[in-house]
Amino acid sequence: MIFSFSRLSLYESCPYRFYKKYIQGYEEPITYPLALGKGVHKAIEDKINGVSHSEAVLNGIIEADFHPEITLEEMSDLVSHAPIKKNIGATEVHFKLPLSEEESAPMIQGYIDVVTADGSKIVDWKTNRRRYDILDNNQIGLYAWAIGQMKNRSTVEGNLYFLRFRKESKHVFKQADMEKSRQWALGVANAITSKCEILDLIPEEAGNLFLATPSSNCRHCPFAIECFRKFRRN
Ligand code: SF4
C-alpha cells in the first residue's frame, strides 16, 4: 500500500473506517466538504496558472461534479480569498518517497498545493469552517519533510491558508520538526503494514485488528450503521 497523510490520519482516528475504505475498498460518498475542497483547489490552481477568475470558478464547479450544495457564489468567494501573487510557485506538486532508508520502507505520497521555486515555502489551501494550528497535526510537517528531501533543504516554511477567514497559520519547519513528522508517518505506516500481514493469515480477526473507535467523526461515517450493529453484538 502507498500511504498518504489522509490515509494515516484516518487510521489514527478510526482503524475500522480505514479498514473498510482502504482494505475492503468501500467507496465513501463524495460529501459537500470534500466536493467543495476539490473544486476550490482546482479553481485556485487554474487562477495561479493564468485562467480568468470566472472560468476558474466554473472549472471548480465542474471539478466538484456540480454538487447540489455548492453555489457559484460560495466557490467564487472562497477562490477570491486566495492571496495569489505573481510567481507564487508550482501548483499541485506531487511527491512519492520512502519513509526510511530501509529496502522495505513504506512509501508515502501527496500533492502540495503550492511550492515556491526554491522549495523555501509551501502552502495548503483550506476550506474548513474552523481554523486550527499548523502544528495540530503532522500534515504540513510531513509535506515540509518531503520538499526538504526533494530540494535538499534543512528548513521549509509551511502555511495553512484558511480561505473563509483569510487567515494563515504558519511555521518554519526545521530538520527536527520534519523528522518528527516523518517518524510519526513511519510509525503509523508500519503499524498498518503489520496488521495487514496478520489479516492475511487470520482474516476473521479484522474487527479486532482494526478497532472501531467512536468519536465525533462517526456523524459523517458511511459505515456507522454497520458499526453500530457490530458494537451492539459485541
Ligand atoms: S461509525 Fe465511528 S467508530 Fe464506526 S467505523 Fe465509523 S468512525 Fe469508526
pLDDT at 231 over 70: no
The closest-lying atom of ligand 1 relative to the alpha carbon of residue 215 is 2
Quote the ligand 1 centre to 233 CA distance (angstroms).
Answer: 15
Strands 121-126 and 156-162: parallel
Spatial CA neighbour of 143 closest among 162, 171, 168, 166:
171
How far is the centre of ligand 1, averaged over its atoms, from the C-alpha of 220 (Å)? 9
Task: Say what the pLDDT of residue 54 is.
Answer: 97
Question: Residue 200 class from Cβ within 10 Å (0-12 exposed, 13-18 middle, 19+ buried)?
Answer: exposed
Say what the pLDDT of residue 195 is.
97
Task: Please write the tens of the pLDDT for every residue from 166-175.
Answer: 999 999 999 9
SS3 191: helix
Q: Is the CB of 227 under 6 A from ligand 1?
A: yes
Give yes or no for a contact between 143 and 178, defined as CB atoms under 8 angstroms apart.
no
The protein residue with its alpha carbon nearest to ligand 1, atom 2, reads 218
CATH number of the structural domain 1-25+86-234: 3.90.320
Contact assessment for residue 34 and residue 73, using Cβ atoms and an 8 Å cutoff: no
C-beta of residue 159 within 8 angstroms of C-beta of residue 123 = yes
Distance from the alpha carbon of residue 223 to the mean position of ligand 1, in angstroms: 6
Q: Residue 218: CB within 6 Å of ligand 1?
A: yes
DSSP for residue 19:
I
Q: What was the pLDDT predicted at 232?
A: 65
Q: Which atom of ligand 1 is nearest to the CA of 217?
A: 7
For 16-30, how does the pLDDT look when each residue is reduced to its tens digit (9 = 90+)? 999 999 999 998 889
Other beta carbons within 10 angstroms of residue 73's beta carbon come to 9
Residue 54: Cβ-neighbour burial (10 angstroms; 0-12, 13-18, 19+): exposed
Residue 116 alpha carbon to ligand 1 centre in Å: 38
Q: How confident is the model at residue 220 (pLDDT cuts 50, 70, 90)?
A: confident
Q: Is the pLDDT of residue 230 over 90?
A: no
Using pLDDT thresholds of 50, 70 and 90, give the confidence band for residue 233: low
State residue 86's pLDDT score: 84
Share of the chain above pLDDT 90, in %: 90
- Closest ligand 1 atom to residue 212 Cα is 3
- Spans of all domains in the chain: 1-25+86-234, 31-80
**What is the tens place of the pLDDT at every residue in 84-125?**
988 899 999 999 999 999 999 999 999 999 999 999 999 999
Residue 10 Cβ contacting ligand 1 at under 6 Å? no
